[in-house]
Structure 1
Amino acid sequence: MKSIQLPAAGLSASQLVLGLMRINDKTDDQIRELYRRAREAGVDLFDHADIYGDGPHHCERRFAEAVRLSGAEREQVLIQSKVGIIRDGPSYDFSAEHIMEEVEESLRALQTDYLDILLLHRPDPLVEPEEVARAFDALQGSGKVRHFGVSNHTVGQIELLRTAVEQPLVVNQVQLSIVHAPLFSEGMQTNTLGQAQAVMPAGADLVEYCRRQGITLQAWSPYQSPRGVFIDHPEYPELNAVLSRLAEKHSVTPTGIATAWLTRHPADIQVVLGTTQGARVEEAAAGAQVRLSRREWYELIRAAGHRLP
């Protein structure tokens, strides 16, 4: 599998990321099998969050208990986790105390001394950048977190954090798929008469901003639509016809083509897989090797229902 550079971190990582939010009720054997097949497919970045599972840090704990990384194996993989969402509400908490407490719990659950990347999970309207900076400084200074980033953040929210945070923000994890693609489609609709996006929306320049700043975009829910997974969904006949035709042409599956659509973008987007099926990871990995033509990329976005002016 292709490895990409995370420019702001100075790291090399696989273009696919295995998200582990759904291993809550899986057995040790099932988790180990998923991990093994992901590693054999070339995945070396594993995504967690403090809220995944039946209780706090549950999926982090299940991963560590099942996989039991040796010291040597731990150095060969990257572990990323997220903080900031309070499930009882929900609400959000970017206070220094909460960030640091959750990281300590994540480290215990994951049975590791450090996180490679820590993300702020969803924007906190009550954020005080100085509080975030205090937590990041302490976590970096103690060696407990090596790199930092955000998830679901706009340009303005990132810029606000950067008024106090000195560490580079290396990742922004956002929801993105062929069907749910406002980060691309809104920019294409700008200044188009009669379109709702005729005035530049808040997120339309996020991709360009992240490219300029060296912030790596990670796409979560890469196969999702408002109606569920769009692959083989009867309400997306045109899109699935194109996915199937291109899959046959490139000798991959429709899942592979949906993955290739994301990895084709010059921003070097990482694709976060939320599957618990090793076969689906392998399909995505095969697709990530396919380089779609410009014509194919645009055909897919049109087939997904996006109007190009």
Structure 2
Amino acid sequence: MKYSSVGTTGIEASRMILGCMRMAGLSTQEAAKVLSATREHGINFYDHADIYGGGQSEKVFAAAAKEIGLKRDDIFLQSKVGIRKGFFDFSKDHILTAVDGVLERLETDYLDFLLLHRPDTLVEPEEVAAAFEQLQQSGKVRHFGVSNQNPMQIELLQKFVPMKLQANQLQFGPAHTPMIDAGFYVNTLSDAATSRDGSILDYSRLHDMTIQPWSPFLVDLDQGLFIKHPDYQKLTATLTRYAKTYNVTLEAIVMAWILRHPAKMQPIAGSMNPERISGMVRGTEIELSREEWYDIYLSAGNSLP
């Protein structure tokens, strides 16, 4: 496993994150096998959210970590708050209450990273700032970030929040590339020139903000996995071909494709299958050529001007 800094924190974390959304459906013993696999392969960063399994994912993680003797000082824990049933809530009271719940379920005294989970249009950034300051001063959270936010949303928060926002979770993968599509078609009349995110990729690189790609194997939340999607069979075939070339799994090539981008992203693997996790990790050791990277991009149905 290779390691890289998260934002400007100086933290050297694994290039791949284990996303724990599906852990709620596992027994303690099954989750322990997953965590054993991550430890074996050098993954030391774990992503949670208070809505994952209604909090059950965090409880199962804590029990499994205890079972295998996973030391708190050897790992980085991240969780997200702000989504409630039927609405979003970035109020100070909710953030503070939600974090206390996260810490209790994870059986830990602090989070390494806290992210705001999807934008709340009713956000009062002064309240977010007050919550973050209280959490940092109390030692409950060390670093902060956001999820699914564009540059102006981040700038609005950053105007009031004194600590630097270090990470942003965004969907990205070979079948979901709006972060890079518009950049190819600058100053053209093509529909592909439409910017859907305010140039968040360039913004993140300029501000040393780590992008954590989620669901790299999805087209989107409605259409599911690209491997099973009829419109992405050429992409699947291309990835399969490179998997054979490098003697790795298709999932490893997807990870290698994301990590080949110089933005130094930190992709999230959401699998609860130890063998699949082992396969994905091999992608962190592969550096695709520029030609191979573009071949995969174009095979997903994208074009270049």
Q: TM-score, normalised by structure 2?
A: 0.96
Query: Partners of 1:36 and 1:218 in 2: how far apart?
Result: 23
Q: 3-state DSSP class of the match of 1:23?
A: helix
> What residue identity is the alignment partner of 1:64?
A
Pick one of 200, 215, 238 that aligns with 2:209: 215
Q: 3-state DSSP class of the match of 1:162?
A: helix
Pick one of 81, 84, 97 that aligns with 2:82: 84
Q: Which residue of 1 aligns with 2:277?
A: 281
Cα pair 2:175 2:232 within 8 Å, conserved: no
Backbone CA RMSD of aligned residues: 1.5
Q: 3-state DSSP class of the match of 2:93?
A: helix
Distance 1:177 1:72, change over 3 A: closer
Unaligned runs of 5+ in 1: none
Q: 3-state DSSP class of the match of 1:105?
A: helix
Distance 1:147 1:70, change over 3 A: farther
Displacement of 1:189: 2.3
How many residues were matched structurally? 303
Distance 1:155 1:14, change over 3 A: same
1:196 equivalent in alignment to 2:191:
yes
Cα pair 2:18 2:46 within 8 Å, conserved: yes
Displacement of 1:204: 4.7
Cα pair 1:184 1:204 within 8 Å, conserved: no
Provide Cα deviations, 1:103-146, integer angstroms capped at 9, x if missing partner.
01110100000000000010010111100000000000000000
Q: Which residue of 2 aligns with 1:129?
A: 125
Displacement of 1:234: 4.5
Query: Partners of 1:219 and 1:231 in 2: how far apart?
Result: 18
Distance 1:185 1:255, change over 3 A: same
Provide Cα deviations, 1:84-106, integer angstroms capped at 9, x if missing partner.
001x21x1110111000000111
Runs of 4+ in 1 over 6 A off after TM superposition: 69-72
Pick one of 149, 153, 158 that aligns with 1:157: 153
Query: Partners of 2:109 and 2:261 in 1: how far apart?
Result: 35
Pick one of 165, 172, 179 that aligns with 2:168: 172
Once the two structures are overlaid, the 10-residue window that deviates more, 3-12 or 157-166, is 3-12
Q: 3-state DSSP class of the match of 1:65?
A: helix
Displacement of 1:178: 0.6
Cα pair 2:169 2:213 within 8 Å, conserved: yes
Q: Which residue of 2 aligns with 1:23?
A: 23
1:63 equivalent in alignment to 2:61:
yes
Q: TM-score, normalised by structure 1?
A: 0.94
Displacement of 1:69: 7.2
Q: Which residue of 1 aligns with 2:264?
A: 268
Provide Cα deviations, 1:4-39, integer angstroms capped at 9, x if missing partner.
111322211001000111011211110000000011
Q: 3-state DSSP class of the match of 2:288?
A: coil
Q: 3-state DSSP class of the match of 2:302?
A: coil
Q: 3-state DSSP class of the match of 2:227?
A: coil
Query: Partners of 1:82 and 1:198 in 2: how far apart?
Result: 32
